[in-house]
Structure 1
Amino acid sequence: MKQTWPIVKLGEVLHHRKVFITIEDEQMYMRPKVKLHAQGIELRDHVSGSEIKTKKQQVCRVSDFLVAEIDAKMGGFGIVPIALDKAIVSSHYFLFESNQEHLIPDFLGYYCKTKVFRDQVAAKGTTNYAAIRAGDVLEYVMPLPPIEEQQRIIARIGTVRQQLQDAVKLRSTIEVQLQSLFLSLHSNSGTTCKLGDLIELYEDKVRIQPTESYPQVGVRGFGGGLFPKAPVFGTETTYKTFNRLYEDAIVLSQVKGWEGAIAVCPRALSGMYVSPEYRTFRCKPNIASPRYMQEVVRSQWFWKYLQEATRGVGARRERVRPEKFLAIDLHMPSFSKQEKIVATLNGLETVRQLRTEVFPCIEALLPSLLQKEMSQAQITGV
């Protein structure tokens, strides 16, 4: 038989604490960062009081419900972790204490990640004012199971979270082992040659038209691969041309290539566009395999060649120019050996897909699990 859980306003189980302290110049203070999309709260920085201009600040306490006035509608809220106990926030944040006889803070922390709760916060009122008020928070509603039921749900989600964290560690181990296997196979045969002997600069330049839109692609650093971005209209850019991607193009970020912002274009992103700051190269037929080069460019040992092809530090580091990129000396197996290694790696590709398809959804599973737990109970009105 289903239980019945009442719906309550947060004002029935939360108390808005609005107490300010005076910042002392000689003291050090922690400041939190409230991540968007209900992704939690983490340390932003440590600062001395002398660096803080506004001398009246609020003090966070562990298990407070912290809400950002401006960013709340984008999911800027969460429970203060123990590591940020006594962190300070300005008056642009709201702090709420739970009545823990009726509401466990961790339960609220999970529930505020659900779509049902976030939709309440994002909902527009009678005006288009972006910020929210403390009184708005106290009007939001949520199901309130008995304390014992809250504890059961928290324990259940905690178990799943631990299992997922173990899976993430396994993912990292698998990726390291796959790269070690590739490097071992790569190093066992071949000769040293110029990268320009294997690939060549090939760009499909498209002149930008003011009336057209151009779906964009970005390149993540550290071997993170390509990802689609919002389209750019011709009137929104000062570039005269974009480079149109094609299947198996090696896409190099001139700005961030030195930190592994390089990848091979899959068929799904063919026909999309990158700015002229991204250069595209193609494999020479029967000399370099696109699938093999995909393994090369996402390997950490290759990124050191990109670093050596540029000079400088941080924002002053040189761009990775095509001529320097193609001049890299690289150990490379023959084309037939590349194909054999690719065949070996193809048998392990299903394992690697866990990284790109399954694990990015991990955090989304937790609020979904809570939503499922909620749906198992009948809910009454306020």
Structure 2
Amino acid sequence: MTLTDYAVDDVITLIRRPVLPEGDKEYREIGIRSFGNGIFHKEPVAGHEIAAKKVFSVEPGDLVFSNVFAWEGAVALAADSEEGMIGSHRFMTYRVNEKIADARYLLPYFHGGPGLDVIRQASPGSAGRNRTLGIKGFGAKRVALPDLAEQRRVADRLDTAMSQIAQVSRKKSASTGLTLQHADTLFRSIEMRVPLSTVLTESSEFVAIEPGATYRTAGILNRGRGLFLRPVINGSETKYSRYNRLRRDQFVYSKLFGWEGSLAVVTEEFAGIHVSHEFPTFDMDPEVADVEYMTHLARWRGLHDSLKDQGTGMGSRRQRVNVSRLLATEVPLPDLPGQRRIAKKLTLARRVTDGSAAQVEQLATLRRALLDAAFSGRL
């Protein structure tokens, strides 16, 4: 495949179309998802609400870059559905030089191909909002492109494959959403509610940290997504004087992020792993609670919502949920046979969701492989 070297400014031209919002008119702004996941539409706003903002019109065919997150692939191609919409000053709208390039080729080229490295080179800084795309520097960078016929051929193949991948991903996401709704419906249908203190008894196994020893540690993801392993740490590297050692079938939560749903039941994989004293652990009364049921309850967004108002302190990152508040929180709890029936249903649904999640990850891997093939002459 023969490539020709161009300056970015020769391939795309920045076009700014300022809009002066009128107070009695309604406007819709765009946003751009990272990693080439397209444009999304924000809720309509009245002109007087954005009168102080600098906004610009977006037109179909614009290649749009988020100057804040372009470095992580926040690049999109405006379609007919974006007709009449606006973007803030953070969204750079470019028109493609159609004598040199095909917009459908440039889109994946910049969000996941060689062009992403070009963007990163023009986005100085360390991370996040410090990595703003420098427009002049970006325009002066060089890109290597095949001829138009080859670009169109590659774009056609990518469009077909990516469309099929996106369709499957949407179906998998919808399946996950239905599973969450199913769990929510089941838990909310239970009339019997009791405080968690009926089920849980605080039970921590603290071990003193030795400077020369190493420790496997864990954290808890928010929204009930469970425990995750952290890197092994040397005792001399931690600020803590002791760790709490997890046991299988314990209930554990994060004081700092309990209000975000950082709750879990310890599985065999995490037995013996250490957490800080900020992660209280509890034994469950087997005569009152079924472990499988409590595992699903820890994932339930209704419980997470209940804990949002149980934090103490000010600011989102200071809303600690102390043990007494957690134990006072009421949860749906039928008798043991009822818990087991519900847990069985939710476990079956969960297996479907987990399978879907694995397939979505496989699709993401396939997507990356397609992009690599497309820009290395193998597609």
TM-score, normalized by the shorter chain, greater than 0.5: yes
- Report the CA distance between 1:161 and its aligned residue: 1.5
- Report the CA distance between 1:294 and its aligned residue: 0.3
The equivalent residue for 1:15 is 12
Identity, in percent, stands at: 19
Instruction: Indicate the SS of the match to 1:140.
Output: strand
Question: Is the 2:65–2:91 contact (alpha carbons within 8 Å) kept by the matching residues of 1?
Answer: yes
The equivalent residue for 1:280 is 281
Correspondences of 1:29-40 after superposition (within 5 Å) = 33-40=31-38
Question: Is the 1:171–1:354 contact (alpha carbons within 8 Å) kept by the matching residues of 2?
Answer: no
Q: Deviations over 1:183-209 (max 9, x none)?
A: 77xx59xx7654323221223446678
Correspondences of 1:210-359 after superposition (within 5 Å) = 215-221=217-223, 223-228=224-229, 243-254=244-255, 256-258=257-259, 260-270=261-271, 274=275, 276-303=277-304, 306=307, 319-335=320-336, 338=339, 342=343, 346=347, 349-359=350-360
The equivalent residue for 1:172 is 177
- Call closer, same or farther: CA 1:361–1:320 in 2, change over 3 Å: farther
Which has more strand, going by share of residues? Answer: 1
The equivalent residue for 1:83 is 82
Count of matched residue positions in the alignment of Structure 1 and Structure 2: 366
Identify which range, 233-242 or 149-158, moves more after superposition: 233-242
- Report the CA distance between 1:155 and its aligned residue: 3.3
RMSD: 4.9
Instruction: Indicate the SS of the match to 2:221.
Output: strand
Question: Is the 1:215–1:273 contact (alpha carbons within 8 Å) kept by the matching residues of 2?
Answer: yes
- Call closer, same or farther: CA 1:213–1:41 in 2, change over 3 Å: farther
Question: Is the 1:111–1:367 contact (alpha carbons within 8 Å) kept by the matching residues of 2?
Answer: no
Residues of 2 paired with 1:143 and 1:39: CA distance? 24
Q: Provide structure 1 residue ranges, at least 5 long, that are not aligned to the other structure.
A: none
- Report the CA distance between 1:74 and its aligned residue: 3.7
What letter matches 1:17 in structure 2?
L
Matched, 1:97 2:95: yes
What letter matches 2:14 in structure 1?
R
The equivalent residue for 1:198 is 199
The equivalent residue for 1:155 is 160
Residues of 2 paired with 1:20 and 1:213: CA distance? 57
- TM-score for the superposition, normalised by structure 2: 0.69
Higher RCO, Cα 8 Å, sep 6+ = 1
The equivalent residue for 1:140 is 143
What letter matches 1:141 in structure 2?
A
Residues of 1 paired with 2:135 and 2:342: CA distance? 60
- Call closer, same or farther: CA 1:17–1:329 in 2, change over 3 Å: closer
Instruction: Indicate the SS of the match to 2:61.
Output: coil
Residues of 2 paired with 1:248 and 1:84: CA distance? 54
Q: Provide structure 2 residue ranges, at least 5 long, that are not aligned to the other structure.
A: none
- Report the CA distance between 1:296 and its aligned residue: 1.9
Residues of 2 paired with 1:51 and 1:232: CA distance? 49
Residues of 1 paired with 2:289 and 2:125: CA distance? 60
Correspondences of 1:104-115 after superposition (within 5 Å) = 104-114=102-112
- Call closer, same or farther: CA 1:108–1:241 in 2, change over 3 Å: farther
- Report the CA distance between 1:97 and its aligned residue: 1.3
Q: Deviations over 1:352-377 (max 9, x none)?
A: 31254333555554343344455664
- Call closer, same or farther: CA 1:235–1:161 in 2, change over 3 Å: same
Residues of 2 paired with 1:377 and 1:41: CA distance? 28
Residues of 2 paired with 1:304 and 1:289: CA distance? 22
Residues of 2 paired with 1:21 and 1:224: CA distance? 43
Instruction: Indicate the SS of the match to 1:293.
Output: helix
- Call closer, same or farther: CA 1:225–1:100 in 2, change over 3 Å: farther
- Call closer, same or farther: CA 1:325–1:355 in 2, change over 3 Å: farther
Residues of 1 paired with 2:91 and 2:234: CA distance? 37
What letter matches 1:170 in structure 2?
S
